[in-house]
């Protein structure tokens, strides 16, 4: 799985969303190592 599932940090994911044009990004839910993000433009 190491070569298949590349895990990015939370900061990298939020930066990608900002680069994609989303202006407001917020962590909506966090449980163990999973997060849900609400992003609006």
State residue 1's pLDDT score: 57
Tens-binned pLDDT, residue by residue, of the chain (41 aa): 567 877 889 999 999 999 999 999 999 999 988 899 999 98
Burial of residue 17, with CB atoms counted within 10 A of its CB: 0-12 exposed, 13-18 middle, 19 or more buried? middle
Q: What are phi and psi of 21, to 5 degrees?
A: 110, 5
Overall pTM > 0.75: no
Q: Locate tokens 């799985």: which residue?
A: 1
Q: Where are the domains of the chain?
A: 10-40
What tokens were used for 17?
């969303």
What is the rounded CA–CA span in Å between residue 23 and residue 10?
A: 16
């Amino acid at each position: 799985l190491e070569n298949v599932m590349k895990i990015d940090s939370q900061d990298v994911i939020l930066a990608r969303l900002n680069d994609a044009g989303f202006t407001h990004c917020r962590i909506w839910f966090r449980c163990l190592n999973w997060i849900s993000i609400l992003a609006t433009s």
